[in-house]
Amino acid sequence: MENEYALKLLKDHLLMVDKLEYNERQEVLVRGFLAGNVFDWGAKEVVNLMERGLSFTEAGDKLQSKPSCNL
């Protein structure tokens, strides 16, 4: 279920990422990797969120903010 749902969201997400400037793209990609882990948890709450339409963006929004570092 999780993979099918994620694949449905992938095209629009990649189109959005392609439009970003380099620095913002790097941050979005890293946050995307972390947000992807939300989908991998497989916990009951995550399944409930997915059934309500959890997106990669919303999963990323649930991540704690960390102080930025300049790379």
In a domain, 24, yes or no: yes
With b meaning 16 or more CB within 10 Å and e meaning fewer, what string describes 37-71? ebbeeeeeebeebbeeebbbeebbeeeeeeeeeee
Confidence of residue 52 (pLDDT cuts 50, 70, 90): confident
In a domain, 12, yes or no: yes
Q: Domain containing 18: what range? A: 2-61
Average pLDDT, the chain: 75
In a domain, 26, yes or no: yes
Cα dihedral 36/55/30/63 (nearest 10): -90
In a domain, 67, yes or no: no
Q: What is the predicted pLDDT for the residue at 8?
A: 82
In a domain, 66, yes or no: no
In a domain, 41, yes or no: yes
Compute the average pLDDT of residues 40-65. Answer: 66
Number of domains in the chain: 1
Q: What is the predicted pLDDT for the residue at 20?
A: 97
pTM for the structure as a whole:
0.53
In a domain, 37, yes or no: yes
Q: What is the predicted pLDDT for the residue at 54?
A: 65
